[in-house]
Structure 1
Amino acid sequence: MGHNEIITLVIIIVLFVILFSSFVFFIYRDWLATKKHQATSDESDKKKP
Structure 2
Amino acid sequence: MNSLSKSDLDKTFIHPEDNKQFVIKEIKGTYAWHGSHHIEHITELKKKNGW
TM-score range, shorter chain: 0.5 to 0.7
| Cα deviations by residue, 1:1-46 (Å, 9 ceiling, x for unpaired) | xxxxxxxxxxxxx7282112211110000000100000000001xx
TM score, norm. by length of structure 1: 0.53
Larger Rg: 1
TM score, norm. by length of structure 2: 0.51
Give the counterpart of 1:34 among 36, 40, 45.
40
In structure 2, the residue matched to 1:17 is: 23
Q: Distance in 1 between matches of 2:37 and 2:46?
A: 14
Counting matched residue pairs gives 32
Identity among equivalent positions (%) equals: 9
RMSD value, Cα: 2.5
Greater relative contact order structure (CA < 8 Å, 6+ sep): 2
